[in-house]
Structure 1
Amino acid sequence: MSSIPAPTGLQPVGPRPTPITRIDVVARLAAAEAMLKALLERWSIPALRVALGAVFVAFGVLKFFPGVSPVEPLVEATWGALTFGVVGGQLALVLTAAIETVAGLALISGVFARLGLVMLAIAFVGILSPLVFFPAELFADGGPTLLGQYVLKNIVLIAAALVVASRVLRGPGRTSR
């Protein structure tokens, strides 16, 4: 009669697992990266559209309340320069507030995103006009003032609007989503 040896420790049951190789790790990372890319392609531009809209709603609504927006004097002066003095004062603030708020809401909803982009294009003319009309107020002592920084940050918003427009506008190529 043969005796069965007593177990000395844990013995693997079944076949041994295949060791993970460098090629497996690279393949898994590539698959994860591809999934992330697909997620970003699907959601990054809609997220940018909503974020851009939210920024314009937030800054637009401020202009409806006198004394709340730090750029009120600049808005009034810019409208005066652009309209040769026909529009200024509180009317300039209300018009700017309406344009920015409606454009922002259109972008957030996505339903009227093209209209929102057109309104933003018009707003960007006014937003960047102080660079031409009032450079002394925007730049001093070799650099931008706080007001100048406020105006210059709109370059990023313009770039964001261009990216959103690439997805929203109709035409040859990709369809709008």
Structure 2
Amino acid sequence: MSQYVIDRPTGPDAHRSIPSVRLASLTVRATRLASSAVDRLLAVLVAHSLVALRISLGLVFLGFGVLKFFPGLSPAEAIASATLDRLTFGLVTGHAAVLLTAVTETVIGITLVSGKLLRVGLVVLAGALVGIMSPLALFTAELFPHGPTLMGQYVLKDIVLAASALVVAAHALGARLHVGSDD
């Protein structure tokens, strides 16, 4: 006795319809193929996503850091200078503040991109995150007078950089991706 019920359509278009058995078989095969594709994608993501995040984060820091070596190229020069001026109580100001920021961001970028001296780069990054995030507290009124200014948006995106840095740091310090179901 068959476990499938063959439901044959009737009517003038009956010859064009796929019997239910073939449709069920196609659905099972499609589900298996989709599941297999998802499993392969998951394996690629587990193997490469954290390295891709580390390198892309490094490229962002490297790019923004190198810009600050050339006066007038970085849109963040003024905020970097003002932030360091405020954080160091006036000890590091103006061009020296921008230069220190450029060196710091470039070192962070190089260590993240290369993976060399990564722990040193992460320590520098941890310190830099204080400066990177502090404009949100130090210059709130200027960055968000009636909504975010362009500079406010620029600084606000640093929250994503900070979160990415936390993931990269956790992985570099030994945390491993756990693959499981969270639903």
- CA displacement at 1:146 relative to structure 2: 0.8
Q: 1:122 aligns with which of 124, 127, 130?
A: 127
What TM-score do the two structures reach when normalised by structure 1?
0.82
Structure 1 Cα separation of the partners of residues 107 and 155 of structure 2: 20
Q: 1:101 aligns with which of 81, 106, 130?
A: 106
Q: Could you say what the CA RMSD is over the residues aligned between the two structures, in angstroms? A: 1.6
Structure 2 Cα separation of the partners of residues 75 and 165 of structure 1: 24
Unmatched runs of 5 consecutive residues or more in structure 1: 1-18
2:64 is equivalent to residue 59 of structure 1: yes
| Counterpart for residue 35 of structure 2 | 30
Query: Partner of 2:75: helix, strand, or coil?
Result: coil
2:55 is equivalent to residue 40 of structure 1: no
What TM-score do the two structures reach when normalised by structure 2?
0.79
- CA displacement at 1:114 relative to structure 2: 2.0
Higher alpha-carbon Rg: 1
| Counterpart for residue 164 of structure 1 | 168
| Counterpart for residue 75 of structure 2 | 70
Structure 2 Cα separation of the partners of residues 150 and 21 of structure 1: 50
- More moved, 92-101 vs 106-115: 106-115
Query: Partner of 1:66: helix, strand, or coil?
Result: coil
Q: 2:158 aligns with which of 141, 154, 160?
A: 154
Structure 2 Cα separation of the partners of residues 69 and 22 of structure 1: 55
Structure 2 Cα separation of the partners of residues 74 and 108 of structure 1: 25
The number of equivalent residue pairs is 154
- CA displacement at 1:25 relative to structure 2: 2.0
